[in-house]
Amino acid sequence: MSGKMKTHKMVSKRIRTTKTGKLLKRAGGQDHFNGRESGNTTRGKRSDKTIAKVFTRTVKTLARVK
């Protein structure tokens, strides 16, 4: 009964892999209530964030990323 593991679609749609194998995700909290944030916070949310090394193995397993 050891078939293939299904891809976790939520994870696979939200995470990108770079050529070097790092995992990137979009910064959270960008949709609304951004007027109250400082300029530095708003600018920081524009760039993609790197996922911590602790979670990379779990995420790669779920998303079936190589």
pLDDT in tens, 6-54: 889 999 899 999 999 899 999 999 999 989 999 999 999 999 999 999 9
Nearest-10 Cα torsion for 43, 14, 50, 41? 20
Task: Give the whole-angstrom CA distance, residue 47 versus residue 30.
Answer: 11
The pLDDT of residue 25: 94
Name the band, by pLDDT with cuts 50, 70 and 90, for residue 62. confident
Q: How high is the mean pLDDT of the chain? A: 89
The pLDDT of residue 66: 62
pTM equals 0.74
